[in-house]
Structure formats: structure tokens, C-alpha cells
Structure 1
């Protein structure tokens, strides 16, 4: 039933893009359920990047998530390389 979506209490089945949209448009703070979902997805993504720091190419959704939290990674070489690889491989939609 969920497909590429996870169940988030209070939101039902929610895709990563939808969760990011909710977070970006939240006034007065982001709901904890959305924050927890995004943090979990970010942790999973960061683990993939650390496992393949020179080869992993972000998907469009992963790039959007990573960009939302970009400041957290400062001048990390892994982060900078991942962003460069994304743009080097981006095909548009």
C-alpha cells in the first residue's frame, strides 16, 4: 500500500518529497513526526555515502533531502563530492 512511501503518524503514507514539502512549508516549526522521518532518511543516506564515499550517486530525492540539511555537513569532503557527482550525473526530468 505504501509503495515508495513510509507511514507517518498524522500524515498517512508519505513520500520523501512530500515530507520535505511539509517541512519547508511549516510555519512555527516542523512537526516532530516529519522531523523524525527526515532524520532517519538522512541517517540512512549518510551511511550509504560513507560506505561508498567516492562512487555513490545521489538520486533526485536524496539530493533534495541532503540539500535540506546541507549546512549540517559544513565542508565535509564526502558531502562536497556527493553533490558534485549528483550534478555531474544529473539528467533532468
Structure 2
């Protein structure tokens, strides 16, 4: 077929872990119900958010997320609700985006 993630029936066809990027997993989770429920998509995103959260915790006052990291962090925003370090990370991302520093 043409590499599409959907079968003829319109259902989700699971991609192999080695070929599913964080960006693709995030897109699938956001844009398709099947993607957000897919175990492979969830594993890829869980690995990414753990790495991102570790990065933020390692540099809580200076860490600036990349656009892709911010997308994943934003997807999981409810997980970090009320945590000042998370609020500060979001603020730094937007401050740097607006200033053109990233």
C-alpha cells in the first residue's frame, strides 16, 4: 500500500516501534481516536514525556523546550497541572518563541 496508517476499513494499523517517531505518535494521538488508544502510540509518548520531564527537572529554571518537546508536554498538560516548575517551563517556551530566540 502507500504507507498510510489506515487500512481499507478505516481502522488504525499499528506501525512498528522502530518507525514511529514522537512527532508521528503525537499527531496520531491528537488527530485520531484510534491513535490515542493505540498502545504503541502511548508507549512512544510516555517515553518522550518522561525524557522531557527529566530535562525540566534537571534544569528547572533554565530549560527551554523545543517545539516538538512542547507539543508532547502540552499533550500531557493535565498531568502537571498546578506544578510551578511546569508553569515556568511553559512560560519560558513562549517567552523564547515570541522573542525569536529558539
Structure 1: tracts of 5 or more residues without a match: 1-9
More helix, by proportion: 2
Q: CA RMSD in A?
A: 1.9
In the superposition, the TM-score normalised over structure 1's length comes to 0.81
CA distance in 2 between counterparts of 1:78 and 1:15 reads 27
Query: For residues 21-72 of structure 1, what are the alpha-carbon distances to aligned partners after superposition, in whole Å with 9 as ceiling and x for unaligned?
Result: 1111222552001101100110011011000000000000000000000011
More strand, by proportion: 1
SS in 1 for 2:61: coil
Structure showing greater radius of gyration is: 2
Alignment match of 1:14 (pick from 20, 26, 30): 20
Q: Which has the higher contact order (CA 8 A, sep 6+)?
A: 1
2:86 is equivalent to residue 79 of structure 1: yes
Alignment match of 1:44 (pick from 46, 51, 70): 51
Q: How many residues align?
A: 84
